[in-house]
Structure 1
Amino acid sequence: MVKQLEILTLILLFPVICISQINQFDDQGRRNGPWKVNFEGTNKPKFEGAFQNGKETGIFKFYKKGFYEHPTAIMDFEKAQDSVHVTYYTQKGKPISEGMMLEKKREGKWIYYHQKSDSIMMTEIYKNDKLDGLQKTYFPNGKLAEKTKYLNGEKDGESFIYADNGKVTKELHYKKGELHGPANYYTPEGIKTIEGQYTEGRKSGNWKYFSEGKLEREEDY
């Protein structure tokens, strides 16, 4: 009987023991060990993870208020020493996007997924939370839809738009976010329709317009 009472006591105390082992601080007042923070006035998690002497370590899960079945974001602090790998999810647990963050700013390659499939919708390159590099967009079938160069958060360089058959429909150039340089437009079958030039966002020089591949008219700007 005494032994049964001891077992019962341990069972009743187990939740208290578990609670006492989370949300702890080290001798210097830094978060240490497993942590779980609930939304105010609820027993539902806002985030959960672990700290080592005040620094995040391992996997952290973040939740949206009212939706607790799947985390809306998971951060992995072990994939890189000075940055964190982040994956964002829908309320049903499907990945939306993923990439690296450094000091809460996007850095390096980020991947975005199509809503109705697991195929990649877009890839981007970031530097200090600004687009800096080649952005690629894909059709759901995996074929390239667009590729555009960015510099310091703005379109800068070549930009190509594609039809779903792989043909280029627009060939453009940008400088500091504005159309600047040669511009060519094509039908989805690859037949040229327009040829011209932009200067700081405006049409300039001689523009040619084609019909079924043949020159139809010209305009000067």
Structure 2
Amino acid sequence: MKYFIILASFMLFMACNQNDQTTTNADPQTSTADPYIHVDIEGTNVQRVILKNRDGKIREEGFMLDGKRTGMWIIFDRSDVFPQKIISYQNDLYNGPYYEFTERGQMILKANYINNKLDGYFARYKFSKEVVTANYINGKLNGEYREYDERKNFLTKVENYKDDQLHGKVEYYNQDGVVIMEYGYKNGKKMSGGMVDQ
């Protein structure tokens, strides 16, 4: 019985693979062959799309719906083990989570997009620790922007933004977490501030 289940699973897998159609599309604008491999997903307008390098290793993979990128796409650079980027698409635009990684698989950037514009939490990392955090709304900085020391991981600066302009307090910190400089901004213009007496 165990062997029958394994054999039936294998036959089902092979049957599914035979129904997928692999095509290489020609680009009518450039008259050169499309380097992507397109695999139709039966019963849908979705295709699995793969780009390989000269050595046959996957460089990009993801899905297309009606000829437009959709869902998660994975981009590889030199490493074929860890992705360089993971990008969320909807209607061929960045929509959703976006990540970048080092060749060793450490995250260096985390963001969110809506229609190709940064929207939501944003962070840069070094050695798996946050070095910059921010918040975006419709492609513009809004709210707190924070910077951290790359080596000792302490907060060094906090800025406040409104529609991509400094608005509110800007504070600089020493290693002990004490404010050493403070400025006040309104709509991008410095209104006050300087060194803070200890």
Where on the TM-score scale, by shorter chain, does this alignment land: which range?
Answer: 0.7 to 0.9
Structure-2 residue corresponding to 1:56: 46
Structure-2 residue corresponding to 1:124: 111
Question: Is residue 98 of structure 2 the alignment partner of residue 110 of structure 1?
Answer: yes
Gaps of 5+ in 2: 1-17
Structure-1 residue corresponding to 2:35: 46
**Which residue, out of 153, 174, 181, partners 2:139?**
153
Q: 1:53 Cα shift?
A: 6.9
Q: 1:72 Cα shift?
A: 2.8
Question: Is residue 77 of structure 2 the alignment partner of residue 99 of structure 1?
Answer: no
Q: Within 1, Cα distance between the matches of 2:24 and 2:35? A: 8
Give me the TM-score of the superposition, normalised by structure 1. Answer: 0.67
Letter in 1 for 2:38: G
Question: Is residue 159 of structure 2 the alignment partner of residue 172 of structure 1?
Answer: yes
CA distances 1:104-159 after superposition (whole Å, capped 9, x unpaired): 01111111112x421110110111221110101111x2111111000000111111
Q: 1:143 to 1:54 in 2, by over 3 A?
A: closer
* Structure showing greater Rg: 1
SS at match of 2:24: strand
Question: Is residue 171 of structure 2 the alignment partner of residue 181 of structure 1?
Answer: no
Q: 1:192 Cα shift?
A: 2.2
CA contact (8 A) 1:159 1:171 kept: yes
Gaps of 5+ in 1: 1-21, 23-31, 215-221
RMSD over aligned Cα, in angstroms? 3.0
CA contact (8 A) 2:180 2:195 kept: yes
